[in-house]
Structure 1
Amino acid sequence: MSIKSIAAKIFARKIYNQTLSWANKPIETQLEVFKSLIENAKETEFGKDHNFASIKTFEDFQKNVPIRDYEDLKNYIEKVKAGEENILWKGKPLYFAKTSGTTSGAKYIPLTKESMPTHVNAARNAILHYINETGNADFVDGKMIFLQGSPILTEKHGIKFGRLSGIVAHFVPKYLQKNRMPSWETNCIDDWETKVNTIVGETINENMSVISGIPSWVQMYFERLQEKSGGKKISEIFKNFNLFIYGGVNYEPYRAKFEQMIGKKVDSIELFPASEGFFAYQDSQKEKGMLLLLNSGIFYEFIKADEFFTENPKRYTIGEVELGVNYALIVSTNAGLWGYNIGDTIQFTSLAPYRVIVSGRIKHYISAFGEHVIANEVENAMREATAGTNIVINEFTVAPQITPANGLPYHEWLIEFEKEPENIEIFAEAIDDSMRKQNIYYDDLITGNVLRKVVISKVSKNGFQEYMKSQGKLGGQNKIPRLSNDRKIADNLK
């Protein structure tokens, strides 16, 4: 055992104990965060506009600060981008993370000196929790790769602009820099396909022990590695690879494909990062869900997803949530977001401590006929339908077909198979059965002959990658929506 791995275990125990200190008093922790946020922002323009000086309770806050999305906050954001100070948070932010908006083009999310450390420390702490629980620390002596966006930043009015993953690349601790891959020069390559091919060349002969990234893009990296190595399993190329870290999408639809490509099972750690904040990470290999970070300068509110689009839906705080309920996640942060709908929906898997899973997007659903199918349901259906079979899925998405040429409307599952089912009809039936068990509204529509059962359409090899490339969204933090309420994606897949 190396000195570095021994030190990692000692540090891991320290971080674990620090986590317990706030996780064991969640309501008090969130109250402290809430008070600190209000106090620090009461002299900002937003704070004055919303009477922060008079806010003493959660109820006061909810009366003064409505739920808003990016468009509702955009006027304030534009002032900050223009270099004005004390608008959403004291002073000016250090960075703006540029993200791809679905309704308003590019979005610019502020990152401040107070919020930035959480983005860095949370990923580190996830790894340390893994070390503390499992005792596995040998991987710290190997090479680690983080598939991410370019770290090249621009600057305007003293604020730097870039992709979140590229910004975070500037904060890699010194003790990891010798282990980190790819090289800085390769990380700066903007074209994703060129970048992946270059990364393959740099890493194929290295002692890779940790690989991290969005599963769909890591899959592309693995495929290129196999092409270059003559079809070897990833575990043959990287004999000490034993930890996969991911975020952005549910890993389960990719797990069978990954295990086939890797050639063995490897441990995994799930993260819940976003430009708006680093919200949660998997703190245990034994428990379902990710630990919600209640002490990280973020005050959380939750709105039941089935009430979200009603007038004045109830806003719940951490002490009021229930297990298994689908909530829209609302945040107020020390980066200057207030009552902000991040667009994700979550469910609690544990209340002691508070652990969550990401169940989908509040705007990503199918409800063409009132069924309100969500991402978590279609992913569960795919997992159940493939369990115990040899079927391997590369990628999939779901969309309604409202006006078919013949017969009743249906939900179309567009699937890129690595290994197809022997009988596509039986496979479709298994998916449909699972959907009907999970969603009573969908079941009613099938029973009432409003919809016919699931229809599966095969997508050609690399069809999803080609679609993302055509949209200028290949690689980085971009990902295919698991489902849509229209056919903008479905009609462009081949």
Structure 2
Amino acid sequence: MGFRSVLSKPFASFIVGQQKKWSADPGKYQSKIFNEIVSKAADTVFGKDHAFDEIKGYDDYKKRVPIRDYEELSPYVKQILEGKSDVLWPGKPEYFSKTSGTTSGVKYIPITKESLPNHINSARNALLSYVHETGKSRFLDGKLIFLSGSPELGQKAGIHTGRLSGIVNHHVPGYLRTNQMPSYATNCIEDWEQKLEKIIDETIGQNMTLISGIPPWVQMYFDRIQERTGKKIKDVFPNFDLFVYGGVNFEPYRAKLFDSIGRKVDSIETYPASEGFIAYQDTQHEEGLLLLSNSGIFFEFIPADEYFNENPTRLSIEEVKTGVNYAVIINSNAGLWGYSIGDTVKFVSTNPHRLLVTGRIKHFISAFGEHVIGEEVEKAMKYTVAKFPETEIVEFTVAPQVTPEEGLPLHEWYVEFSNSPSDLSAFEKELNLQLQKLNTYYDDLQSGSILRSLKIIQLNKNSFIEYMKSQGKLGGQNKVPRLSNDRKIADELIKYRISE
């Protein structure tokens, strides 16, 4: 064994010991973070605007600080971009994480000196939790690949600016730098397909032991390797032991990914966002991701069905329940206050607090009041594929069709199969049945002859890749929304339809 794998075990034991302390009493640590960040930001522009110096507790805070999304927080960000200090947090941010907005175009999310450890240490601790639980550390001695955005940084108002994955790349610990891949020069290539070919050039023949990235882009990497070599990934990288992913639900990709590998490998799910690292999988034996309740973020949760109310219920970590869909709100040492990151989660345990990411608060279909969410379409597809085991999915998304050429309105599922079901009509019926079971409103609308059964639109090979390329979003951390309440994506994808 190499020195990395040997030294990782006592360090992992220490980190997991600390983790057990804060996860056993999250209310205590959340309260401490709340008091610290409110006190520290009292003299900022935001702190003065919201009378932070008068806040005595969480109830006071809720009265003074409303829930905001990026568009509503952007006037404060604009002040920082104009060169002003002490706006959302004392001083100026260390970085701006640059990400795509919805109505605001580019978003600039501040990362401060104090919030940087949340992004850096959380990914490390996820790996150390795995080492501690399984005893497996050999992967640390091999080559590690992180499929990510470019680490090249620009500047805005003298502040380094770039994609989160690129920023984090600058802070990979020195002991991992020597076995990190791809090379810096290759990572800086902006064109995803050109970059992918260079990554393959550099990694084929190497002792790859850990591969990390968003599942659809890792799948693309595997596909290209198989095209070049004619081999399964296990034969190209025989010591590949661990897959680390985040950003999307792994389930729709699992079967095809493991088929490409040629065997199952262990995996670790993470939940990073530009606004903060929220949770990670701390065990291979329990469902859900451990909420990071001691990492500079004070969390709030709003029941998802109240999110658009004028005065929604705002809950602390001690008030949440299992089985309820919540919108995630963060308050942090990056200077984000009452900030809605747009995600929804559901707790599967409150001792410790483990959660599942269930979707996006604005990604749903409710053309007729059905309010179908991401979790439901992903589960419906998962359960259906289990009944048609020959089926392999590359990617899919769902949209309403309110004005079909004939018949009642319906949901259209745009699906790229790598291996189609043997009986598409039966698959379609089963998929519709599973969605009816998961969403009673959808079931009622069909029983009431308002909606008809869903329809699958089969797409040609590489349709989603071509679509993402057409949008300038191929590769990196970009992903296709699982569903939407309009037809913007559907109307673009229809051109890739397989002729009937």
Q: Structure 1 length normalisation: TM-score?
A: 0.99
Any residues of structure 2 matched to 1:293-332 within 5 Å, and which? Answer: 293-332=292-331
**Offset from partner CA, 1:432-470 (integer Å, 9 cap, x none):** 111111111001001111000110000110000100000
Counterpart Cα distance in 2 of 1:414 and 1:158:
44
| Counterpart secondary structure, 2:456 | strand
C-alpha separation in 2, matches of 1:247 and 1:177: 21
In 2, Cα distance between equivalents of 1:261 and 1:486:
34
Can you list the C-alpha shifts for 1:386-417, whole angstroms capped at 9, x where unaligned? 01511000000000011000101111111000
How far apart are 1:303 and its partner, in Å?
0.6
Amino acid at match of 2:475: G
2:1 is aligned with 1:14? no
Q: 1:228: Cα distance to partner?
A: 1.1
Question: Aligned partners of 1:392, 1:215: CA distance in 2, in Å?
Answer: 14
Moved more, 77-86 or 359-368: 77-86
Equivalent residue, structure 1, for 2:419: 419
How many corresponding residue pairs? 493
Q: Show the counterpart of 2:68.
A: 68
Specify the code of the residue in structure 2 equivalent to 1:240.
Answer: N
Matched ranges for 1:176-325 at <5 A: 176-229=176-229, 231-325=230-324
CA distance in 1, matches of 2:297, 2:193: 36
User: Matched residues in 2 for 1:93 and 1:157: separation?
Assistant: 10
Instruction: Structure 2: give runs of 5+ residues left out of the alignment.
Output: none
- Aligned amino acid, residue 359 of structure 2: G
Give 1:89 shift.
0.2
Deviations 1:123-146 (A, max 9, x none): 000000001011111111110000
Cα offset for 1:347? Answer: 0.4
SS in 1 for 2:152: coil
Q: 1:164 maps to what in 2?
A: 164
CA distance in 1, matches of 2:11, 2:386: 39
Distance 1:191 1:409 in 2: 40
Residue 28 of structure 1 corresponds to: 28
Comparing 5-14 with 395-404, which one deviates more in the overlay?
Answer: 5-14
The residue aligned with 2:141 is 141
Q: Does the CA-based 8 Å contact 2:4-2:175 persist in structure 1?
A: no
Quote the residue 2:479 is aligned against.
479
Residue 3 of structure 1 deviates from its aligned partner by 3.0
Letter in 1 for 2:226: Q
- Quote the offset at 1:56 in angstroms: 0.9
- 1:271 is paired with a residue whose SS is strand
How far residue 4 of structure 1 moved from its aligned partner, in angstroms, is 2.2
Write the deviation string for residues 126-172 of structure 1: whole angstroms up to 9, x where unpaired: 00000101111111111000001111111233310101000000001
Query: 2: CA distance between counterparts of 1:238 and 1:326?
Result: 40
1:343 is aligned to 342
The whole-number CA distance in structure 2 between the counterparts of 1:100 and 1:337 is 17
Amino acid at match of 2:135: G
| 1:62-102 deviation per Cα after TM superposition (whole angstroms, max 9, x unaligned) | 00000001111111001111221000000000000000112
| CA distance in structure 2 between the aligned counterparts of 1:338 and 1:52, rounded to whole angstroms | 11
Counterpart CA distance in 2 for 1:165 and 1:63 is 35
Matched to 1:78, the amino acid is K
CA contact (8 A) 2:98 2:106 kept: yes
Is the deviation greater in 152-161 or in 339-348? 152-161
Query: Offset of 1:5 from its aligned partner?
Result: 1.3
Cα distance in 1 between the residues matched to 2:428 and 2:287? 28
Counterpart of 1:171 in 2: which secondary structure? coil
Q: Which residue of 2 aligns with 1:384?
A: 383
> Residues 52-67 of structure 1 correspond to what in structure 2 (within 5 A)?
52-67=52-67
User: 1:471, 1:400 → 2: CA distance?
Assistant: 21
| Structure 1 counterpart SS, 2:278 | strand
Identity %, equivalent residues: 59
The runs of at least 4 aligned residues of structure 1 exceeding 3 Å deviation read: none
C-alpha separation between the residues in 2 aligned to 1:136 and 1:449?
55
CA distance in 2, matches of 1:422, 1:82: 59
Tell me by how many angstroms 1:371 deviates: 0.4
CA deviation after TM superposition for structure 1 residue 10, in Å: 1.1
User: 1:460-481 CA deviation, whole Å, 9 max, x = no partner?
Assistant: 1000010000000001111000
Deviation at 1:242, TM superposition (A): 1.1
Structure 2 Cα separation of the partners of residues 390 and 102 of structure 1: 37
CA separation in 2, counterparts of 1:347 and 1:324?
Answer: 6
The 3-state SS of whatever aligns with 1:324 is coil
Q: How big is the shift at 1:367?
A: 0.3
Q: Is the 8 A contact 2:390 2:422 kept in 1?
A: no
Distance 1:5 1:145 in 2: 17
Mapping of 1:12-161 within 5 angstroms?
12-161=12-161
Structure 2 equivalent of residue 470 of structure 1: 470
Greater mean alpha carbon deviation, residues 359-368 or residues 21-30: 21-30
Does the residue aligned with 2:488 lie in a helix, a strand or coil? coil
Q: What amino acid sits opposite 2:175 in the alignment?
A: Y
Deviates more, 1:87-96 or 1:153-162: 153-162
CA distance in 2, matches of 1:429, 1:266: 33
- The aligned counterpart of 1:433 is 433
- The 1-side partners of 2:26 and 2:470 are apart by 45
Instruction: In structure 2, give the amino acid aligned to 1:461.
Output: K
Aligned to 2:395: 395
Q: Distance in 2 between matches of 1:436 and 1:62?
A: 38
Q: For residue 450 of structure 1, what is the aligned residue in structure 2?
A: 450
Which whole-Å CA distance do the structure 1 matches of 2:74 and 2:346 have between them?
29
Deviation at residue 224 of structure 1 after TM alignment? 0.8
Amino acid at match of 1:335: A
CA distance in 1, matches of 2:251, 2:357: 12
2:381 counterpart letter in structure 1: M
Q: Distance in 1 between matches of 2:353 and 2:9?
A: 25
SS in 1 for 2:209: strand
Alpha-carbon separation, structure 2, partners of 1:156 and 1:63: 33
In structure 2, C-alpha distance between the alignment counterparts of 1:160 and 1:242, rounded to whole Å: 35
1:278 match: secondary structure: strand
8 Å contact 2:80–2:157 — kept in the other structure?
Answer: no
Q: Residue 67 of structure 2 aligns to which amino acid in structure 1?
A: I
